[in-house]
Structure 1
């Protein structure tokens, strides 16, 4: 057990001046324990317990029992530790002592931590924190939480707690807590594979422990350093620390000290029974002088029965306490399980509701955006054009909002996982900048890409999600920057074998973020203030999506900002390098003008309004089409006619677009099929492609994107067939 706690009585729990003697006992026990002198710590605690009994001070007795419980736990005597913990529990039933109750819960958390119940330990530590404001106890709660977090893999929370203890101002155990924190950080860095940092922390722990006389912590640090130096290839230092460890373990002092500690522990363990027997012996001697043998026999029998009765009552009370504790734990477990199930159900209900709403909104929104586009193409008057542009802007805003909600829903519902495909990182960043170049021009802001040429050309990652991350970050930076500069920076941090770590930064010279708002800027619908929301607009979901997407990659977004000077968002990502690296090619995408005239398509759409809009949009490009209102009709038309391409709605009554595509592919593997769908939470692009779709267009869509997909998939396919 690490981080053993010793609260001391300087918190005004004992009001009388004479009772300061109790405080002195506890202070001595604290010093002895931290210096590894367990025998003297036990003897001092025994004196503190005797003083409390004489003074009939129940709070002092509770504290004494608690200290005994922790020290016996340190010595590996769990049953004896539980014995004193139970004794304290009995006393606490009859007195009001908030600090003692908090201390009791802390010890219980230590027991849970030692037995591997880390989540229950964290819950018990939280209960203890709520019952005390004692600085020393709170520091040890922080230390115990750090150890629990480390055990369950929450290294970021563990690191936060350890770092807090490095700067603690505890009046009694400042250096001891710092030593335990350095040891904890050393183990954390060791688990993360950061050996140099682990060595640095372990050396700090060893230095403090040696100077303060913390023998146990010094041995822990030396043992850790020996293994760290060996794993780092520094065998000279590893051997040096192994020898130091051997000297400490084999020293006469250590052996004698272990024997004394065991002897003292056993002595104190049976203290109460010894006292009872001595009192009974004195009574026997007194009676022997004034009574005959028969009377003495009766007394012997009475004494024997009394002792047996006391032991039986004690055993019964212990069992009752343990039964009550087990019942309480089972009850709390059931309550926690019920609360967790309710929270999961609420999250699922929220997710399904938002998914359904966002999906259903797409159908009428398709009509709004489609009809607006058609009306703008029909030479409206200037006054009408102004209204139509406002309607188009509102439609685009609503579409972006719906897409953001669906994206967050998918992440929250664990529907998204990062892919591991070939990715040209420089191309991804360049295309993001290119797509936002017009926005930068409108904001009179220079958009810069600063890319480290040492980054491997071909990496394995998820280019789509990377694009989403940088589109949100760069778009956010441009929104709050005018007449300034937005820079996208990529730097290679390290490369070992086929693994590379890259640092990314999006820096702007915009309005900056108030320090008070920085902590919640990544929460949903947060943009800093109401005034900023009104002035700059937006959904307030972009940075939330960035944070969630980076979480899928095991990374964390960080922020530095100053009002009036700009903001910097930065993070790191790990990549696997592709073996067959090729030279960077010119990845500038040139816009193509496709000839659509003469195409004959099949439009599969169950919504009548959407049928009209799609037919008119195709007619604008002189594309003819047939319309199928359901999947079954689409299969029959595709079997009986020849089409240059098929635009397939996915969500339809009867057979779905996916099933219809599979049936068509059974007799036609050549005709391009583009899925047109209002994607919901349960939809998967991989499912569409697996069914035989060539591409996917999400409704509602921008007309230029719709035409480009028809060109790439249908026009180019027809051209290849013509020339072959």
Structure 2
């Protein structure tokens, strides 16, 4: 939590200006002097001229010792000076003296101001029980008299809740104060008081509301908008405290980008900005502390002089007493000098520590920026190649009338489309690992089926490369397992793709064997081996380092270097295993890793062939998507299975169609204009709890999984999807599945 003491100054000076303005509205000839005194002291203290303020008050008291109004003003303003210097007991004493003197004056000066400032003293001194009791008295009186003073009392209460880390009450009190401020009628108030309350105090409420919501981990987007509004109006704050406010805003913005909308660049940027404002504020605070120390010393010296004169008069020991006090004064000065030296030493040490920390953060930011630049440079090149090929093949297919050649080009087009999809998936996976947003998802699958599908997917590429891809599966091992099929496939596909690239006119072996097995689980070992060009021993330690591992790749055929980085992260971070690699130049390379998988209780998870047309012919399905092309593709895919398919291109239309027609399954896109998929699903669930709703979307599953489930959807299919996966989802939820 950010200490609220560092941002209370603007409220303090606004309150002083407010109370002096309130008094000026009731000015009479009798109290004109007091009004002038209050304003002069306010300006001097605000500008850190504390010693000048003390001298001004002392001279005033000499001329008006018998005037109770001047005495009351003297005590009141001394209380203000001690409050601004952090001497809360002294401040309370002077405020109480001012109140006692004021009670004997007909117009009762400071009757409004003193309770509000005493509330501030109790809050600053962390005497929260007194804050609560005095707040109740003050707010009751303010509500009865319908004056603006209640908004200052609200602010003190809110800040005290921040100090107590009672963030729930910070939020409730801030919202209540803002609501009452919006409803307050300012038509009978002067422009200065209206500016203080409606501009400065309003921004205080907004800032504390944003801080409280973020501490409560609620409504991050609304909090971020409030922080932006307060930052935009920062010039309204008192200049001497503005840096403290901006430091708070930067700190909570960095928390927004760390906790809610992960963006490491923004986190580092706002942390650095907060440190910079903190440094500026500390410099100003040190200067103000120096002025306050001089004032406190002068007060103490005056009090010691009075005590010294009293001792001389009573005991008639002038010489010995003078010697004693002179010695005490010298010792006091030496102690102050020592304390000041320690203060300067610690301040310099703190400044040096902060500078070193900022230098280190700057180095990391520069390294991150360099890596990001390399990332975009490499990905730009890697994406352009398959996109150019796909574009060219599309034009060739359009112009070619030979059916055999068109089929050959379509196969090439499908290969480059899969290659582009793999590159995009690797890029997204790389970003997720950097943000820590990757996890395993369990599902039942057949190891044998998965291995065969992976091998078949490379048939065109190995033929183009004149390479043989061999598959070996241990016969006596369990094939039906539960685990993350997608992540295992991603590792094997990246390894095979890497092997094909460096094994022209050669052989690649993909194998899986059992390491150990029990009733609940099986440990299997996957290996991808080739007889290609191999890797030099000195380069082996760097091949998994993302962009830093591309030297070996770039020398031969180019590439992004992301594939092996993703392989290592998945195997080590997610499967808690290790990737083994051995290689010899000119003879080939071998990659291997172990994975522990649960055994599947079902007899067989995938059937070798399923007649989906026969199983889905009785089904009625609705597809909701705002993209016309996606609607056409999904509708054609479902209709080829024999099912009846309706389409809707927006949420409102989908809701009405579900009301009018009984559907077995509804496939729902997430991001749509107007009502999105989540809102549409929630509205459907209000009148239909039975219909199966499956998210059909390209969103990042790691970030949206909980939101999708919470909306009432039954399952998720990620685009681009395989027909088999789509049909099996339909069968899994169908009441008529055989």
TM-score range, shorter chain: 0.3 to 0.5
Q: TM (normalized to structure 1)?
A: 0.43
Of structures 1 and 2, the one scoring higher in RCO (CA 8 A, sep 6+) is 1
Q: TM (normalized to structure 2)?
A: 0.42
